[in-house]
Structure 1
C-alpha cells in the first residue's frame, strides 16, 4: 500500500518552595495524565554566546519535574548560533543540568556546522540519560509517538527526508503522531508566511490520517502578539517561542517562555505555557487544548 493512501479527508528557590502539581481541574476530574513533556525553543543568542534564559528555563523545568509527573524535554533546534563551538560549549553548561532526558533536533543554525557535531553535543546534553544516534529518530510511547525530524539543509527537507517522515507516520498508524520539526511548512504561520518548509511534498504528510500535531519553533514569535497555536484541517500546529530573542512581529518585546504538553488517558491534550523562572502556574492566556479522538 502506498504510504500516502492513509490521508485524511520569581527565583527558582522560591519556585521550588511554593511548587505544587499542576492541575487542570476540569480535565483532572475525569482523567489521569499519562504523558507530559516540556518543549524548549530556539536559543542561538547573538552577538554574545550567553544563555541566561536557557539557564532559567532549565532550572524551571527541573523544578516542575520535581513536583509533577514529567517524562522528558524536547528541543526544536537552533540552540547554537551558526553551530559554533563557543555556542555549543556554553549551551552545554546549561543543558547538561536537565534532570530529564532531552530529545533535540537540528535547526538551520546547527547546519552551519555538521551533523556529527550536533550529535556529539546532543549526547553531552543528555549525560548518559538517553543516546541520540541520528538527527532523525522516533520516540514511541504507549498512547502516542513523537517523530523527531531534523531538516536536511537549512530548515527544509529533501524528498528523501519527507519520505522518511512519511514512512514513520505510516508505520505507526493508527497511533497518533506528534511531529517535531524546526519550522512548520511555509504558510502555516502567516506572521512570516514565506519562512518554513518549502518542499511541496511535505503537504502530503500533513494529510496523513494519524498526524495529530506539528511542534515547531524557528520564527521567534512573540506569543502575546501572534496566533501561536491553531488547527489547520485536522492537524494542530504548536509554535514554541524562542528563549533568547524575539523577532516577530518585531524585536520590541522579549519574554522567555517554554511550553509543556500533557496527554490524558481520555485522549485530551493540554498545552501549557510558562514564563521562564516565573512560578509554577501556566499562563492562562496561552492555554491550548485539543483531543486525539476524531
Structure 2
C-alpha cells in the first residue's frame, strides 16, 4: 500500500499545483490591448530587408498564438526615401497579417514629395486593412490613445506640428496617451544626447498630465549596451531598436529586435522585447509601468 500512498500524494500535489496555476491565471487582469512596434530599417548599401522580413514572420506567428491587435512603425523604413527602397520593402510589409500604422522619419522626408510618397506606400503596405490619410493621426481605444506624430522636417517639429500634438492631448484628456515620434527630444538618451527633437515648445508636450510614454526609434541603439527604457519626471521613454543596422554605441554588434506592449484592464503596461527568430521575449529587457 505504501507505493499507492506515494502515488496518490504525488497526484494530489500535482492537482494542487494545477489548481493554483489556474487561480493565478483567472486572477490576471484581462488584456485590453496588445501591439508590436517595429524600429528603423533603412538598409544600406543594398535595398534588402532580411531582418524586417524575419520580424514580420515572427509577428504573424505571434498573432496566431496570442492576441495581437496591430503593429506600429516609428519611421525610417526606406533609406533616403528612395523609390527602390520603397519598392523593395513593400512586398515584405504586405506579408504582415495585422494592420500596420507607421509614421515618417527623417529618411522618408529625404525624398522629393516625401510625405505624399510615404502615404502612397503606407496604404500599399496595408492592402485595405486600414487607411493612412495623414502623416499625423490618432488611434483611440478605451484604455488609452496613441498619438502618431510624424516629424515636420528631418526628425524635428515646427510650431504648427507641436501645436497639433498639444491639441490632441487636450482633446483626449484625461485619457492616457502614448506619443509615437521618430526621435525623442534631445538629451533623453545620453548615448547620443544631441540627436532628436529640438523645438523649445516641445517641452509643453512632455509636461502634459496625460502623457504616459514616448515611443521612439531613430538612434539605432544596441539594446544590450544602452539604457533603452526609463522614466524622466512622469514620462516613460521607450526606445525601439533598428532591424537592419545598429549604430550606438558602435556598429560592432547588431541584434535585430522588436518590442510588444501589453496593456491590461487595470492600466498596467508590460513591455516585452523579442529577438528576431526567438519565440519568447527576452527577460533582460522587460519593462513595465502604470498608465
How high is the TM-score relative to the length of structure 2?
Answer: 0.90
2:197 pairs with 1:197 = yes
- Quote the Cα distance in structure 1 between the aligned partners of 2:127 and 2:169: 29
Aligned mate of 1:107, from 105, 108, 111: 105
Cα RMSD for the two superposed structures:
1.4
Which one has a bigger Cα radius of gyration? Answer: 2
Q: Which runs of 5+ in 1 are unaligned?
A: 1-22
Corresponding residue number in structure 2 for 1:72: 70
Q: Which runs of 5+ in 2 are unaligned?
A: 1-20
- Quote the Cα distance in structure 2 between the aligned partners of 1:99 and 1:141: 21
Aligned residues: 268
2:46 pairs with 1:63 = no
Rate the CA distance shift 1:27–1:184 in 2: closer, same or farther, 3 A: farther
Residue 224 of structure 2 aligns to a residue in which SS? helix
Corresponding residue number in structure 2 for 1:98: 96
Residue 285 of structure 1 aligns to a residue in which SS? helix
Residue 109 of structure 1 aligns to a residue in which SS? helix
2:37 pairs with 1:39 = yes
- Quote the Cα distance in structure 1 between the aligned partners of 2:146 and 2:231: 18
Q: Residues 176-231 of structure 1, C-alpha deviation per residue, up to 9 Å, x if partnerless?
A: 00000000000011100000000011011001000000000000000000000000
Distance apart, 1:104 and its partner CA:
0.1
- Quote the Cα distance in structure 2 between the aligned partners of 1:221 and 1:125: 26
- Quote the Cα distance in structure 2 between the aligned partners of 1:257 and 1:190: 21
- Quote the Cα distance in structure 2 between the aligned partners of 1:155 and 1:238: 17
Distance apart, 1:278 and its partner CA:
1.6
Alignment of 1:175-186 (within 5 A): 175-186=175-186
Corresponding residue number in structure 1 for 2:282: 283
Alignment of 1:1-294 (within 5 A): 29-113=27-111, 114-279=114-279, 281-292=280-291
- Quote the Cα distance in structure 2 between the aligned partners of 1:28 and 1:209: 33
- Quote the Cα distance in structure 1 between the aligned partners of 2:189 and 2:265: 30
Corresponding residue number in structure 2 for 1:13: none
Residue 123 of structure 1 aligns to a residue in which SS? helix
Residue 137 of structure 1 aligns to a residue in which SS? strand
How high is the TM-score relative to the length of structure 1?
Answer: 0.89
Rate the CA distance shift 1:172–1:91 in 2: closer, same or farther, 3 A: same
- Quote the Cα distance in structure 2 between the aligned partners of 1:65 and 1:165: 31
Distance apart, 1:84 and its partner CA:
0.3
- Quote the Cα distance in structure 2 between the aligned partners of 1:174 and 1:86: 43
Corresponding residue number in structure 1 for 2:3: none
Q: Residues 78-135 of structure 1, C-alpha deviation per residue, up to 9 Å, x if partnerless?
A: 0000000110011111001110100000000000111000000000110100000000
Rate the CA distance shift 1:262–1:28 in 2: closer, same or farther, 3 A: farther
Residue 146 of structure 1 aligns to a residue in which SS? strand
Rate the CA distance shift 1:26–1:148 in 2: closer, same or farther, 3 A: farther
Q: Residues 240-294 of structure 1, C-alpha deviation per residue, up to 9 Å, x if partnerless?
A: 0000000000000000000000000011000000001122x100000000011xx
Residue 32 of structure 2 aligns to a residue in which SS? strand
Rate the CA distance shift 1:27–1:291 in 2: closer, same or farther, 3 A: farther
Residue 238 of structure 1 aligns to a residue in which SS? strand
Structure with higher helix content: 2
Residue 223 of structure 1 aligns to a residue in which SS? coil
